[in-house]
Amino acid sequence: MRKNALIFIIVVALFSAALYFITQNKYLERATEKSGELIFGARVEIDAMHFSLFDLQCGWDRLQIANKDKPMTNLIETGEANFKLEFTPLFWRKVIITEMRIENVQSGTARQSSGSLPRNKAAKAKKSGVFAKTQNALKEEMHALPALEFAELTRKLNIDSLIQIDKLQSVAGYSLLAQEVDSSSEFFSAKLKNQNYTERINALKKKIDALNIDKNMDILKIQKTLADLGAITKEVDKLQNDIQADKSSAQGSFKSVTEKYDNLKKQVQADISKAKNLARLKELDTRDVGLLLFGAPLIEKIENLLHYLNLARRYFPAAAILLESEKEPEPERFAGQDIYFPFHHKFPDFLIRKILLTGSTGKENSNAYNVSGKIFGLTNQPAVFGEPTKAELEIQKSAGNGYKIRSVLDHVSEIAKDSVWIDAQDFRLGSVKLKENKNLPTELVAEKGDLNFTGFLRDEQMNLNLKVHAEPVQFKYAQSDDNRISKTIREVLDGVRVVEISAQLKTENDDRVLKLSSNIDNVLSQRLKNILDKNVTKARQDVENRVQQEVAANREKADAALAGFKSKVDEEMAVLENRIKAETDKLAAKKKELEVKLAEETGKVQSAAEKEKKKLENEAKKKLDGLFNKNKKDDKKPENDG
């Protein structure tokens, strides 16, 4: 055994340990801050981080995580935190925290310096699709409510301020159609001009007129004239074909715009319905009453809740981001291959078995909440851990209201299943701001109430239910009751002492449907319906008339343009066709005349030939007869001699 070497090794080990002991806290602090910045996309600051290697205790005095969207406020600020790491899992590089105590957890606290990171450092985090879709659906739901300005309905409706008439499809369509017809008409004119039909007909006319038919024409001249006539006929045929093609093209354009015109007629009714919707003129539905009265504050609360659920889903796999980012790139050559074997221990890469937290949502605010509770099983690998993350929180408002919140975030399987239960009994509701409206109450004051909320989310499907019971209640108004509607509303609401609201936000066929009902709905809707529906019907008629009026004005332009186009096509084509017909007739007459002439001349030539033939035949006959008689005389002569 080499004693010197042993001493050397011990000295080196001690020196390394001392160096680590001196620098570990700062090193760990910076490493944790950097990891946090990667997850949250904003500055993370830790004060006085400490770590003890001997008992694996870790903690900090203060932690600030800046809000990425509001850099001068903190998303989360905590006071002192302490936690202990489990020893055994570290052999497999698994970080398991048995119990974490976090004190004074706050949200929305002000920062002294900006918490934004340089652009390239900021992590890309987007709102989960399910929450963004839900928020949009809620907005649409509120927008689809009937016009709240009931008083306006009793006066003349200013439709132009409610809807942009000229944006309606039929109104804009007629205007566009008129332009299209004008454009087609101009195109047609330009085409006719380019084809030089008049010049071409004039040239043909000259050629046809130049065809002289004399009385003394011989057969050869006639045949030459006929050949010229054939060439002219071909030209005439080509001209006729060109004119016919242009006529067909113009008729095609006319047919197309006529079809569009017919479609626009059908569109008018659809536009009238659309205009009515845009003006939010629909009959008052019982379910609308609840939304009109309590929709705005309720949707605000749901949106807040969705915001926190979104945060939970967004940052839930935070440790996964962290661990992924810390993976070093593998060397390319001869790195070998890691072979993984079944791992029998249920150690995820990162797990906090239990978090005990206390805190508040902001000290400065009088509406601040004190929060205390426990979170179990926060991990980046729920499937490995095999258990969902559970949270039990108690929120105590400084005014005295208390809420119990329980949630189960089950990401053990591929489909995330999240559940939230919120319960509050006998809480003081106080003053709740309602939607600003001339006729409706703007404030609800309730002394005590019970609240029960359940929310179930399965992947992108959700079913949120809220029940509120408040009594005694009092409605307050911003303006005096100067019309029949506001008087009726006040009559009904003044008699109400208990408000019971039941709301449900549910996914149905990929749509988010908000249903809200209250104990006031029926009685108020019945009383208002009689007054409002008459006005709504009248207003709807006004909208229809206004749309029809605007449509008519634009349709007249389209009608005029269409008629102009049609008459232009018909007239110009008729002129051309008449002229070409005249020339064709002239040409046909000349052809006939020439053919007669040709027949006459041919007959003359044939009869002359016949005469000549007969003459020659006679002459030949005579000659043959003469020759025959001479031979007879010669035969008789020797007999006489003999």
Partner 1 sequence: MFWLKFIAKFLKALRAGDTPGQVSAGFSLGFAIGLMPFFTLHGLFFWLLLLLFNVNLAAGFVGIMLTSLIAWFFDPLFHDLGFLLLVQIPALQGLWESLYNLPIAPLTKFYNTVVLGSLVSALLFLYPIYIAMKKFIVYYRNTLEPRIQKWKIVQLIKGSSLYKWIDKLQRIGEI
Binding site for partner 1 (CB under 8 A): 1-2, 5-6, 8-9, 88, 91-92, 333-345
Residue spans of beta strands (DSSP E) within 67-196: 74-78, 81-85, 95-106
| Element of type H or E holding 423 | strand 417-427
Q: SS3 letters for 433-454?
A: ECCCCCCCCCEEEEEEEEEEEE
Minimum distance between the CB of residue 325 and partner 1, rounded to whole angstroms? 22
Measured from the CB atom, is 337 or 640 closer to partner 1? Answer: 337
Minimum distance between the CB of residue 386 and partner 1, rounded to whole angstroms? 17
Minimum distance between the CB of residue 16 and partner 1, rounded to whole angstroms? 13
Axis crossing angle, helix 219-278 with helix 169-195, rounded to the nearest 10: 170
Rounded to whole angstroms, the Cα distance separating 236 from 409 reads: 87
Measured from the CB atom, is 210 or 335 closer to partner 1? Answer: 335
Nearest to 397 by CA among 372, 417, 418, 414: 372
Minimum distance between the CB of residue 504 and partner 1, rounded to whole angstroms? 49
Q: What SS3 state is found at 520?
A: coil
Measured from the CB atom, is 91 or 628 closer to partner 1? Answer: 91
Minimum distance between the CB of residue 23 and partner 1, rounded to whole angstroms? 20
* CB-based burial label for 390 (10 Å; 0-12, 13-18, 19+): middle
Minimum distance between the CB of residue 8 and partner 1, rounded to whole angstroms? 7
Q: Say if CB 547 and CB 267 are below 8 A apart.
A: no
Q: Say if CB 421 and CB 439 are below 8 A apart.
A: no
Measured from the CB atom, is 93 or 206 closer to partner 1? Answer: 93
Measured from the CB atom, is 124 or 333 closer to partner 1? Answer: 333
Q: What SS3 state is found at 198?
A: helix
Measured from the CB atom, is 92 or 187 closer to partner 1? Answer: 92
Minimum distance between the CB of residue 86 and partner 1, rounded to whole angstroms? 12
Measured from the CB atom, is 3 or 632 closer to partner 1? Answer: 3
Rounded to whole angstroms, the Cα distance separating 104 from 101 reads: 10
Residue spans of beta strands (DSSP E) within 434-585: 443-458, 461-476, 499-508, 511-518
Phi, then psi, of 493 in degrees rounded to 5: -70, -25
Measured from the CB atom, is 13 or 132 closer to partner 1? Answer: 13
| Element of type H or E holding 28 | helix 3-40
> CA torsion 28→32→33→34, rounded to 10°?
100
| Element of type H or E holding 534 | helix 521-641
Measured from the CB atom, is 347 or 477 closer to partner 1? Answer: 347
Minimum distance between the CB of residue 352 and partner 1, rounded to whole angstroms? 21
Q: Say if CB 420 and CB 432 are below 8 A apart.
A: no
- Spatial neighbors of 520 by CB under 8 A, at least 6 apart, are 289, 290, 293, 492, 493, 496, 499
Measured from the CB atom, is 342 or 495 closer to partner 1? Answer: 342
Minimum distance between the CB of residue 344 and partner 1, rounded to whole angstroms? 5
Axis crossing angle, helix 286-315 with helix 129-143, rounded to the nearest 10: 160
Axis crossing angle, helix 169-195 with helix 521-641, rounded to the nearest 10: 20
Minimum distance between the CB of residue 87 and partner 1, rounded to whole angstroms? 9
Measured from the CB atom, is 342 or 400 closer to partner 1? Answer: 342
How long is the chain? 642
Minimum distance between the CB of residue 348 and partner 1, rounded to whole angstroms? 16
Minimum distance between the CB of residue 7 and partner 1, rounded to whole angstroms? 11
Q: DSSP letters along 245-273, please?
A: HHHHHHHHHHHHHHHHHHHHHHHHHHHHH
Measured from the CB atom, is 2 or 636 closer to partner 1? Answer: 2
Residue 452, both tokens: 């029960």
